[in-house]
Amino acid sequence: MAQLTSDEVQRYKRHLVLRDVGAPGQQKLKAARVLVIGAGGLGSPVVTYLAAAGVGTIGIIDDDTVSIDNLQRQIAHRTEDAGRLKVDSARDAILRINPHVTVETYAERIDASNALAIISRYDIVADGSDNFATRYLVSDACYFAKRPLAYAALGSFDGYVSLFKPHENDAQGNPYPSLRCVFPEAPPAGLVANCEEVGVLGPVAGVVGTLQATEVVKELLGLGESLAGRLLIYDALATRFEVVTIAWDPDNPLTGRDPTITDLASGQVAANPACAAE
């Protein structure tokens, strides 16, 4: 296990005094590798808090550039970053917070040709993508690569967070649910408005992304009760959190008893946008 430097001991001392973290937990974080899909509304708070927490290696994949209208919610980027690749801007933000972090950037779109190779390099994935095609692709790839997935999605005034690890079994011996157990199919194109059309309240992205980052850290450290098998729903207008139980669907096409999705190509869905992170 990687030892902490004197600077790291000073930096992380509020973690080191936590009974359930301490030096062994901080060393686990230093050794951890986390991939963040998207450097937008969700990815911004995720990479910010993972860097501050001392996650040793953070990978970021995003092929987009920063625009001024991103800045209302994408807090990893600054006004002067407009026009830059988001992965470059997010990398600089991470290193401003914590120079001890290694940042690996992928200025490309994740797809069926590269998803397994990239995801397999990391211990856990945080998905902050903005469309249903990418969400299903990442979920399927994490299943095939046997990597846990910290999932989050945004609405205009609400958000959803869960942890998917269907390659593992629950206490009853059944697989944990996957995204396809909760949402078997993507909604038809046009049914869900995207955020460019209906907008999103900026701080909602911060709340949901911070919850997502917390689930990543909990999973890396084995802390508490994860959201595996549960879906957290945040309603900003009502200032209300609700957690609903979700279960493995034996008929789902990915991890059911008779799966029809056997590789990433067979699971692809149409790339209709969602009201989400970007």
Please report the beta strands in 138-255, taking only residues with DSSP state E, as ranges in sequence order: 149-154, 158-164, 230-235, 240-245
Mean pLDDT by 10 residues, the chain (278 residues): 92 97 98 98 98 98 97 97 98 98 98 97 96 95 98 96 97 95 79 70 98 98 97 98 97 94 83 52
Neighbours of 117 (CB within 10 A): 10
Q: What is the pLDDT of residue 135?
A: 96
The pLDDT score that the predictor gives to residue 119 is 98
Q: How many domains does the chain have?
A: 1
The answer to the question of residue 168 being in a domain is: yes
| pLDDT recorded at residue 138 | 98
Domain boundaries, position 86: 32-267
Instruction: State how beta strands 230-235 and 158-164 pair.
Output: antiparallel
Predicted confidence at residue 186, as pLDDT, reads 79
- Side chain identity at residue 147, one-letter code: R
**Alpha carbons 90 and 133: distance in angstroms, whole number:** 23
Residue 130 and residue 134: Cα distance in Å, rounded? 8
Whole-number pLDDT of residue 267? 77
Residue 97: its pLDDT value, please?
98
Asked if residue 9 belongs to a domain, the reply is no
Please indicate, yes or no, if residue 18 is contained in any of the structural domains: no
- Do the Cβ atoms of 221 and 169 come closer than 8 Å? no
Q: What is the rounded CA–CA span in Å between residue 275 and residue 135?
A: 12
Nearest to 271 by CA among 159, 194, 157, 160: 194
Residue 238 sits in a domain of what CATH number? 3.40.50.720
Judge whether 19 and 107 are in contact, CB under 8 Å: no
Residue 27 lies in a domain: no
The answer to whether residue 169 is domain-embedded is yes
- Give the whole-angstrom CA distance, residue 239 versus residue 237: 6
Q: Is residue 12 one of the residues assigned to a domain?
A: no
Beta bridge partner(s), residue 136: none
d(Cα 233, Cα 247) in Å, to the nearest integer? Answer: 16
Describe the crossing of helices 86-97 and 43-53 by its angle, rounded to 10 degrees. Answer: 30
In a domain, 65, yes or no: yes
Residue 15 lies in a domain: no
Q: Mention every residue, 6+ apart, whose C-beta is less than 8 A from residue 170.
A: 176, 228, 229, 248
Would you say the C-alpha torsion 49, 51, 52, 55 has a positive or negative sign?
positive
| CB environment 201-222: b (16+ within 10 A), e (fewer) | beebbbbbbbbbbbbbbbbbbe
pLDDT of amino acid 195: 62
How many residues are present in the chain? Answer: 278
pLDDT of residue 184: 84
